[in-house]
Amino acid sequence: MTSSAPPRFEPGSFRDPDTRVFHHAGGVFRGLTRRALADWQRLAKTRFYRRFSEQGRLVGTREVVERDDLPELAPQWAGVLEHARVPVVSYPYEWSFGMLRDAALLQLDLTLAALDEGMTLKDATPFNVQWIGSRPTFIDIGSFTAYEPGAPWAGYRQFCETYLYPLLLQACRNVPFHPWLRGRLDGITAGECRSLLSARDYLRSGVLAHVYLQAKAQDRYGARDGDVGAELRAAGFGAALIRNNVARLRRMVEGLRWTPAQSTWSDYQRTLTYDDADRARKGAFVERAIGDRRRRLAWDIGCNTGIYSRMAADRADYVLALDADHLVVDRLYDSLKAEDRGSILPLVADVADPSPGLGWRGLERRPLADRGAPDLILCLALAHHVVIGRNVPLADFVAWLAGFGAEVVVEIVDREDPMVDRLLRNRCGQAIEYSDAAARELLTRHFGAVTHERMASGTRTLYHCLPRSGDAPRASG
Amino acid sequence: MRMLPAVAPVVVGLLLFERPVHAYLDPGSGSMLLQVLLGGFAAVGVVARLYWHRLTAAVRRKEGPQEPR
């Protein structure tokens, strides 16, 4: 007998009619049509599937044979898979350059490995890659399908639009890809990329073909009638040509580098305005606040080099290390990758302009808090940037923090601090309500218990705030 | 840029050997054709055959009986 609860289909899983993800009893499942079931059975027998799964580069998956505990599914779903749960789902417009590049390399590696064993992938979008800390893992098992001899690589254009062009623009022109990918989930077109590149960029291997020629070819043949795939098959197109293209693309992507000398916050640890004693005192306060209690998910907002994210990771199952500065997050990703950290996920995230609901009905891609609500928040040396730098009223900021129903460690930097003074310098005449006293009053009003410690500098105070007894942490789906 | 004319003959309206391919994603006609160029040396034979098909199709159209309209 199956469960009476209806299947809760994932709103972002609808583009491929042959597979669909649904959630049930805390698990992640995928319905497969008869055709997709045959593809899965073929995939499960390949050597590369086993190899990538063992390396954690493919999401853990098992076929559900006994469906008694699952919701009743429509007859079209001939098979069901259960996937290992990703700690927190993230999107490419929240990743750093290095993360998008590593996800692209995983996509290409899988394409090459699949071709070697008579399979291919139906698409090539970074939304099919997720992260276990600093380790990328491919989650769309339904993307693998038998390779039809003579067929071109179906995901080539999508790979260019969602991986290659964003990486190229960041590497060549220092154009951030986040607003582009957030602005359009389908990525950047060849024509748009061509418009932004300079003549010098075409000297880089592969740019002429993948950008200029592709834009030209799409302009000329995009609206043409006829079955181009059939023409290519008739002319003998085959896997060898795809393999050559993918291998070259791989070399090109691997060689892309984004190396700005510095950003606003990339040197913060060197230029910060407090001394070693206060730094030690701050560390000890955070350590005490985190305590020995196990946490499910911690957010470190404004994480910079991730000192406190690492501290939180000792007690939390998983940590989101969030910072609005792309270069800071990219460097943090590099260091976490070198440490092979599986428990800290670095993301480019601006709390004053957070990832919204996007795509079809605004539900295809969800806001960050819906994907992973924290039970511990570290918010150190951030409030003045949001309140003064972004004009968010202090009361709104504190109410927002309290709204998570989580335990919060927040650092309030007073108006006399050189950092705050710098922010206020060009804001003369504006009445900005911001002070340690006002923050303390608000924190006491919104939280259950508040303890604090003033740093020796006299301009910074750390607060440890417990949620009011009725405020449970927000559930995330 | 000079390689583009070599791709042009690929689109010749040949609808031979049609087989159903189950693809939910539109790979784009232009991008599919470009993949021939990106296939390296292995693509030489494919381009030659595409030219040949174009030629024979043109001859067939010229010599064959006209379809009643």
Chain B: give the shortest CA distance to residue A47, in Å. 24
H/E element, B23: none
Q: Could A222 and B28 be called an inter-chain contact, meaning their C-beta atoms sit closer than 8 Å? A: yes
**What pLDDT sits at residue A130?**
98
Whether the CA torsion B11, B12, B13, B16 is positive or negative: it is negative
Tell which of B3, B16, B25 to mutate to test the A interface (max A CBs under 10 Å).
B25
Q: Is the pLDDT of residue B19 over 50?
A: no
Are the C-beta atoms of residues A216 and B6 closer than 8 Å to each other?
A: no
Q: Could B10 and A227 be called an inter-chain contact, meaning their C-beta atoms sit closer than 8 Å? A: no
Are the C-beta atoms of residues A4 and A70 closer than 8 Å to each other?
A: no
Q: Are strands A295-301 and A376-379 parallel, antiparallel or unpaired?
A: parallel
Q: How confident is the model at residue B17 (pLDDT cuts 50, 70, 90)?
A: very low
Chain A: give the shortest CA distance to residue B61, in Å. 17
Residues of B in contact with A161 (CB under 8 A): none
Chain B: give the shortest CA distance to residue A260, in Å. 31
Q: Could A157 and B13 be called an inter-chain contact, meaning their C-beta atoms sit closer than 8 Å? A: no
At A274, list the tokens: 């407090």
From residue A264, alpha-carbon distances to A19, A140, A251, A258, A325 in Å are: 44, 37, 32, 16, 7
H/E element, A298: strand A295-301
Q: Which residue of B has its CA nearest to A144?
A: B23
Are the C-beta atoms of residues A252 and A206 closer than 8 Å to each other?
A: yes
Residues of B in contact with A160 (CB under 8 A): 31
- Give the three-state DSSP class for A51: helix
Which residue type sits at B23? A
Residues of B in contact with A35 (CB under 8 A): 22
Cα(A99)–Cα(A104) distance, integer angstroms:
9
477 residues of chain A, pLDDT tens digit each: 566 678 899 999 999 999 999 999 999 999 999 999 999 999 999 999 999 999 999 999 999 998 888 988 899 999 999 999 999 999 999 999 999 999 999 999 999 999 999 999 999 999 999 999 999 999 999 999 999 999 999 999 999 999 999 999 999 999 999 999 999 999 999 999 999 999 999 999 999 999 999 999 888 877 666 678 888 888 888 999 999 999 999 999 999 999 887 777 666 666 666 688 889 999 999 999 999 899 999 999 999 999 999 999 999 999 999 999 999 999 999 999 999 999 999 999 999 999 999 999 999 999 999 999 999 999 999 999 999 999 999 999 999 999 999 999 999 999 888 888 888 887 775 677 899 999 999 999 999 999 999 998 888 999 999 999 766 666 554
Angle at B30 (CA atoms; ends B52, A152), nearest 5 degrees: 70
pTM, two decimal places: 0.90
Chain A: give the shortest CA distance to residue B65, in Å. 22
Q: Is B29 on the interface with A (CB under 8 A)?
A: yes
At A212, list the tokens: 């200029």
Q: How confident is the model at residue B10 (pLDDT cuts 50, 70, 90)?
A: very low
Contacts of A239 (CB under 8 A, 6+ apart): A115, A147, A149
Q: Could B53 and A235 be called an inter-chain contact, meaning their C-beta atoms sit closer than 8 Å? A: yes
**Beta carbons within 10 angstroms of residue A86's beta carbon:** 17
Q: Could B35 and A16 be called an inter-chain contact, meaning their C-beta atoms sit closer than 8 Å? A: no
Are the C-beta atoms of residues A285 and A196 closer than 8 Å to each other?
A: no
